[in-house]
Structure 1
Amino acid sequence: MNKIKEITQKNACIWPIIGCIVLFGMITAVTGNFNLSVIISAAKLCTFALLLGLGQMIVVTSGDGAIDLSQKYILTLAAYVSCTVMTKNILLGLAASILIGAVCGGLSACVNVFLKVPAMITTLATGYLFYTVILVVSSKWSSIPAKGFVNFVNKNVFGINMMTIICIAVAVLLWFLLYRTKYGKNLHAVGQKREAARLAGINVRKTVIIAFVINGALCGLAGAMAGAYCGGANQDLGTTYFLPSVAAAFVGGTNAAGGKSSVVGVSIGALMMTLMSTFLNAAKFDVGVQRLIQGVFLVFLLVVAVSDAAKKK
């Protein structure tokens, strides 16, 4: 038993892999059809939860109980920005959405770091600020995506959707950043103990701010693609993806206390959450029941993650 526990702790992706296998079996049982295209479709649909989940993972890894509750608003605002700017130029619109996401993340980080407001409260407050901006601009800015970008996100290369390819590329870049660079080592050190990291000569403030900025940029990218894939921006665009993304972050092995992350685990966790939604839809559960089940699952993950973190302390 101890050996199994040791293996699962070292390989955070084991549980989401098992979850994917179980859920695929349940989908097969409900539909009566064994179809591997379900996995390919889920990989496409999990794009937004995956990007948000990776961003959440970076913030949580920075430690001190950090979590970003403003992600869904950043995504939505970025979708409006991309739809508006892409009327002039598609690449400029994509860059603008990522930039606005990074700025939003940086704003939350500065409040958290310099004013010493806990991240949960900070992002709850800034999230409402971003939502207010959304309410103001939603009637003035374009909510219709550029046709060229819509065609791009729906394009398949060798049977794999372009959004899936982008997510793979982002995951690879984040893996390199977190596990092969000085910044990644600093981030994990800061997450384990900020005061110890400061005494070791690490610029804690800079490290945390960069974490929030990267998170915001990922939300911005997700917003641009969500706006194109969903047929345009709307005020509640990000709400659908927030809960699955948080669940993906924790089921993927992110330590609630900080200092531990798994890009592969979170990526597979996002796929698992999408397969869960696919199963609930196939089983014809009401939307309210689906949200309830996902919420209960998230609470369970948080209880496990927090209790595990408490034991390690």
Structure 2
Amino acid sequence: MDKLIWREPIATTRITGRQPVGEEPQAQAKAKAPRRVITLGDIAGRESGGLVVLLVAVGALTLASDEFLTGNNLSNLARQVAIFGIIAVGQLLVILTAGIDLSVGSVLGLSGASTAQFLVAGVPIWPALLLGVGIGTALGIANGLLVTQAKLPPFIATLGMLGIARGIVLVTTDAQTVQGLPESFQTIANGTILGIPNLLIIAALVTVVMWFVLTRTVFGRYIYAVGSNPESARLAGVPVRLVMISVYAISGLLAGLGGVLLTSRLGAGIPTAGTGFELNAIAACVIGGASLFGAKGSALGAATGALIMGVLNNGGNLLAINAFYLQIAIGVLILVAVGFDQLNTRRSAASG
């Protein structure tokens, strides 16, 4: 399937494609119905800018530093980027519905520290891991309910959850690092398979699964439809509330997974872990081609944005560049990406 087609509804037409009884002939209905077409070529076009920036950054760092392409540095880079990539892909689903999740950093910290506490208390590794991810998922569902049932703006709902989750983890750990985790648990994030870091493999699997969901499933079409026009999607039979709750749940699940993996990588549960990660996740999505107005973006683009940020930070460390300059560079990239998105939107509106 090479393109995803979203048509505005006609009277009682549903997304099943069945023709309503007593309505205009099918040919006339199609002629009058405005439609929004999201093709794989459009998605690739939005990603191309990020890929160009990534290639330029990699080429420049390869010439500037002999250590950049070494196996040890690439392995470290993969581990650093993997967790950001996982969170960014979850954030992307929310952004596609024209929402935002500011709680992912705090959810990551709570899930990771809770997993460490479970392990220290004697809970086996896999149950502790599932409990940690489950905490993230539960908080994501809570975000979705606040947005859909309590009718709170996503910014306010998730900002509140940011404070709640961070407060809970500081209270439950007494703001102390949780140590003494099993070596076998630390191997999950620090081990390799055929020389490839486990974290990179997990991040790649998450990205591929989300790419498949967004481009090859009805649920993926629903996400883009809700982000494009939630009222039209509702009239066409899309379960808008369920879709909204689901994307926040997935964002929380992936934040929880990121927290578990970060705890495994560090070998300790750190209550302040994940501080600022929500901004990095949003930045990765925007740099990767996602639109904060919804319905535009892809999982590959979000992963590419996370990789760009990781490469810039890694290169800055290798070249001993002041970290504050790197923050300026990432800020400029965000502004440029949003500016191009606005320009493309205006051009599309003018041509339409």
TM-score scaled by length of structure 2: 0.80
CA distance in structure 2 between the aligned counterparts of 1:295 and 1:42, rounded to whole angstroms: 21
Any conservation in 2 of the 1:84–1:141 contact (CA below 8 Å)? no
Within 1, Cα distance between the matches of 2:66 and 2:211?
38
Aligned to 1:77: 110
Q: Larger deviation: 102-111 or 255-264? A: 255-264
The CA RMSD over aligned residues, in Å, is: 2.3
Q: Which residue pairs with 2:139 in the alignment?
A: 104
Pair member with larger Rg: 2
Query: What per-residue deviation string (whole Å, max 9, x for no partner) do you get for residues 161-180 of structure 1?
Result: 01111111111221222222
Q: Quote the residue 1:89 is aligned against.
A: 124
Q: Kindly provide the amino acid, as one letter, of the partner of residue 170 in structure 1.
A: V
Instruction: Report if the CA contact (8 A) 2:50-2:305 is conserved.
Output: yes
CA shift at 1:274, angstroms? Answer: 0.5
Greater Cα offset, 101-110 or 9-18: 9-18
Letter in 1 for 2:131: A
Could you tell me how far 1:140 is from its partner in structure 2? 8.0
Q: How many residues align?
A: 306
5 Å-filtered alignment, 1:165-244, equals 165-239=201-275, 241-244=277-280
Residue 239 of structure 1: SS of its match in structure 2?
coil
Query: Secondary structure at the residue paired with 1:13?
Result: helix
- CA separation of 1:58 and 1:228: change in aligned 2, threshold 3 A: same
Q: 1:31 and 1:293 mapped to 2: Cα distance? A: 19
Residues 106 and 278 (structure 1), Cα distance of their counterparts in 2 relative to 1, 3 Å cut: same
Structure 2 distance, partners of 1:278, 1:252, is 18
Q: Relative to 1, partners in 2 of residues 1:307 and 1:230: Cα closer, same or farther, differing over 3 Å?
A: farther
Q: Name the counterpart of 2:324.
A: 288
Q: 2: CA distance between counterparts of 1:219 and 1:250?
A: 18
Query: How far is 1:256 from its partner?
Result: 1.6
* Unpaired segments ≥5 residues, structure 1: 1-5
Higher RCO by CA contacts (8 Å cutoff, separation 6 or greater): 1
Whether the aligned pair in 1 keeps the contact of 2:107 and 2:162 (CA below 8 Å) is yes
More helix by share: 1
How far does the alpha carbon of each residue in 1:67-114 deviate from its partner, in whole angstroms, 9 at most, with x for none? 111111000001111111233111011111111111111111111111
**2:45 paired with 1:11:** yes
Indicate how the Cα distance of structure 1 residues 74 and 257 shifts in structure 2: closer, same or farther if over 3 A, else same. same
The one-letter code of the counterpart of 1:21 is L
Partner-residue secondary structure (3-state), 1:253:
coil
Gaps of 5+ in 2: 1-39
Alpha-carbon distance change, 172 to 7 in structure 1, aligned in 2, over 3 angstroms: closer
Query: Aligned residues: percent identity?
Result: 25
CA distance in 2, matches of 1:68, 1:305: 20
Note if contact 1:49-1:242 (Cα within 8 Å) is conserved in structure 2: no
Deviation at 1:308, TM superposition (A): 4.1
Deviation of 1:182 (Å): 1.6
Greater mean alpha carbon deviation, residues 27-36 or residues 259-268: 27-36
Residues 194 and 21 from structure 1, CA distance in 2 versus in 1: closer, same or farther, beyond 3 angstroms? same
Q: CA deviation at 1:209?
A: 0.3
